[in-house]
Amino acid sequence: MKNWKTVTKKLVVLGLSASLFVTTGTACGSSASAKADAKTKDSEGNVVLKGIVALTPHQEILEYAKDELKKEGIVIEVVNDGSDDLGNERVAKGEADFNYFQHDPYLQSVNDQNGYNLVNAGDIHVEPISLYSDKYKDVSQIKDGDVIAIPNDGTNEYRALSVLEDSGFITLDDEAKEALDASVKNVKEYKKKIKIVEIDAAQVIPTREDYDAYITNTNRILEAKITPNRLAQESAESPYANIIAVKSDRKNDANIKKLVKVLQSEKVRKFIEEKYDGAVIPAALTQSEKSPTSKR
């Protein structure tokens, strides 16, 4: 997860309209007394929600959704991009209404480590970890003896190995699946005699020519501005959907619900599908989250 956040920090958003966000600088405020207030309104009477929102694709998605949010009487004030690793602390302290930069397994680990009581108010999008190759165009072309590089850090390594399992190359043991954490030591069976090389996530793309295929986060591909062949990837049902995180007592707040409703709407989901061409995908919705008019 930390590697995902590192990538997100570096990505630059181009052409964001100032009409969506009121930027208050790179921090949420120097004092815990700078509390978020859901009743704060702008000059037009819209409720202002303060958010800690990563740059790409998160702020881009919110920028696209600004008109629909205004119809709901909501304006987003981005007070930080989460690059200082204090995004959860500031929501926990009430310095922001929500954050949007992480997946739920990471949030739960932060809760456990710090005693926060933050919850997932809604899944928005998945940045799927994917199997790429500059050599092959189809996953069926990978053969015995081929070398595949994967990131060697906690969550991302489990995700990478899961992609290889779903692609029919390996079987993981039950311990890894229960813990959502794995290394090559958790490979129970090699269904195809590939060689898996564990390397630092930041080195996967720079050294990709050394391997027949490699697994990395799609945001790293976007950042590197390369277009390798994508052979396989996580599905929208991935547990690593990026979420709107709030304090537990704000989960049912009417304005938070409006924010999530807009970001989960068919219009925004279609934007994600078309803009990112699979590099970012809308999160799968539960039956209760689907609107009666949803086509999904």
Instruction: For residue 294, tell me if it sits in a domain.
Output: no
d(CA 222, CA 206): 14
Q: What pLDDT does residue 262 have?
A: 98
Confidence of residue 21 (pLDDT cuts 50, 70, 90): low
What secondary structure letter does DSSP report for 207? T
Over residues 232-241, the mean pLDDT reads: 87
Domain boundary among 176, 208, 233: 233
- pLDDT band for position 58 (cuts 50, 70, 90): very high
- How far apart, in whole angstroms, are the C-alpha atoms of residue 77 and residue 296? 30
Strands, sheet with 195-199, edge to edge from the N-terminal-most edge strand: 195-199, 147-151, 213-217, 129-133, 229-233
Average pLDDT along the chain: 86
Q: How confident is the model at residue 149 (pLDDT cuts 50, 70, 90)?
A: very high
Count of domains forming the chain:
2
Instruction: Of 128, 186, 187, give the one whose Cα is nearest residue 159.
Output: 128
For position 288, what pLDDT does the model report? 55
Same domain, 27 and 116: yes
Q: What is the band of 286 on the pLDDT scale with cuts at 50, 70, 90?
A: low
Q: What pLDDT shows up at residue 7?
A: 38
The whole-model pTM stands at 0.75
The per-residue pLDDT for 205 is 96
- Asked if the structure places residue 288 within a domain, the reply is no
For range 198-224, the mean pLDDT = 92
Task: Tell me the mean pLDDT in the region 267-285.
Answer: 93
CB 21 within 8 A of CB 65: no
Both 110 and 138 in a single domain?
no
Q: What is the domain extent for residue 275?
A: 2-127+238-282
Q: Which of 72, 79, 75, 46 is nearest to 62 (CA)?
A: 75
- What confidence tens digit (pLDDT) does each residue in 91-144 have? 999 999 999 999 998 899 899 999 999 999 999 999 999 999 999 999 999 999
Q: Are 101 and 139 found together in one domain?
A: no
Same-domain pairing of 89 and 145: no
- Residue 237: CB atoms within 10 A of its CB come to 9
